[in-house]
């Protein structure tokens, strides 16, 4: 029996996904889902289902099982000598130390390196601890050389009194949306939401109703870092922040996070906005 082209195409796409992930050409955030990284159980389910429908005979099913097993084995069993891992860490550390500080464009310059860190982690070249340590070092490097006035005390944001909550603008830029600004007595908390799209089984990229740049824009989504401004020119200083996904099926494509800034919004301000890359998220006060 000759395998129908659409069946072969479907199974070959699954193999291609394994190879792309193995090569590091896809940066994944969190656990993969069945559409992104089929394991042997999922492959067996696909082959069994197609066999039950009469689209694969026994010989063809065996061939596909062997191909999936070989590909999954080469993905899972990759082992690197410790000296190679040490060399990779040394290389990444040197690249981090060459980055300029945040105030002179360091954040934009760091994006290719951040993607490389994620790729190496999901290829198994870096452990979770090594990646976290390198990201911490990258953050310290970006914040290095930031001037602090002699009379400026360290800020300790207690966020004890919530004064206002402003709903963020309805538009999403490159997959990112600011969902709210929480104004406290001594700080501002910015909440964000990020979506990374993927083609469906037909290859069509779905559109998000709130995405300004369309489906192609959301494909470029990456975890945001903001600067905060108002119409009075208040000097908002970044205090802390972070984001993450849940444990669900699409946790690597849907992420949320918070960034804290000090001080609070002064009484005379009438507009507040956050900037991520070239995108501006503004709300009236």
In the sheet that holds 254-262, the strands lie side by side as 162-167, 176-184, 188-195, 254-262, 237-244
pLDDT at position 26 is 40
Model-wide pTM > 0.85: no
pLDDT at position 122 is 62
Domain annotation for the chain: domains and CATH numbers: 5-76 (no CATH), 82-143 (no CATH), 162-284 (2.60.40)
pLDDT at residue 235 tops 70: yes
- Rounded mean pLDDT of the chain? 76
Mark 229-253 as b/e (b = at least 16 C-beta within 10 Å): bbeeebebebeebebebeeeebbbb
User: Would you state the structure tokens that stand for residue 90, as one six-digit string?
Assistant: 């040394």
Q: Taking residues 30-54, report their average pLDDT.
A: 61
Q: Give the lowest-confidence range in 18-27, 111-120, 167-176.
A: 18-27
Q: What is the pLDDT of residues 255-268, one digit of tens each?
A: 888 999 999 999 99
- Which of 99-108, 167-176, 232-241: highest mean pLDDT? 167-176
Q: Give the lowest-confidence range in 33-47, 201-215, 267-281.
A: 33-47
Residue 149: pLDDT band (50, 70, 90) is very low
């Amino acid at each position: 029996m000759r395998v129908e082209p659409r069946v072969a195409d479907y199974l070959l796409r699954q193999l291609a996904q394994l190879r792309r992930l193995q090569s590091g050409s896809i940066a994944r955030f969190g656990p993969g889902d069945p559409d992104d990284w089929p394991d042997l159980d999922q492959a067996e389910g696909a082959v069994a289902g197609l066999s039950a429908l009469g689209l694969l005979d026994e010989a063809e099913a065996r061939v596909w099982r062997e191909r999936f097993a070989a590909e999954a084995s080469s993905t899972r069993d990759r082992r690197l000598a410790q000296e190679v891992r040490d060399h990779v860490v040394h290389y990444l550390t040197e690249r981090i130390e060459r980055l300029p500080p945040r105030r002179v464009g360091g954040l934009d310059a760091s994006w290719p390196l951040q993607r490389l860190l994620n790729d190496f982690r999901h290829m198994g070249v870096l452990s979770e601890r090594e990646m976290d340590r390198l990201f911490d070092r990258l953050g310290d490097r970006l914040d290095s050389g930031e001037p602090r006035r002699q009379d400026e005390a360290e800020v300790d944001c207690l966020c004890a009194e919530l004064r206002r909550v402003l709903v963020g603008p309805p538009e999403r830029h490159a997959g990112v949306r600011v969902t709210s600004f929480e104004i406290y007595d001594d700080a501002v908390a910015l909440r964000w939401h990020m979506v990374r799209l993927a083609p469906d089984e037909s290859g069509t990229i779905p559109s998000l109703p709130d995405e300004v740049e369309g489906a192609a824009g959301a494909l470029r989504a990456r975890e945001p870092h903001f600067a905060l401004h108002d119409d009075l020119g208040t000097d908002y200083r970044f205090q802390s922040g972070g984001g993450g996904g849940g444990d669900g099926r699409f946790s690597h494509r849907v992420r949320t996070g918070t960034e804290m800034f000090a001080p609070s919004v002064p009484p005379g301000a009438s507009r507040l906005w956050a900037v991520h890359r070239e995108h501006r998220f503004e709300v009236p006060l």
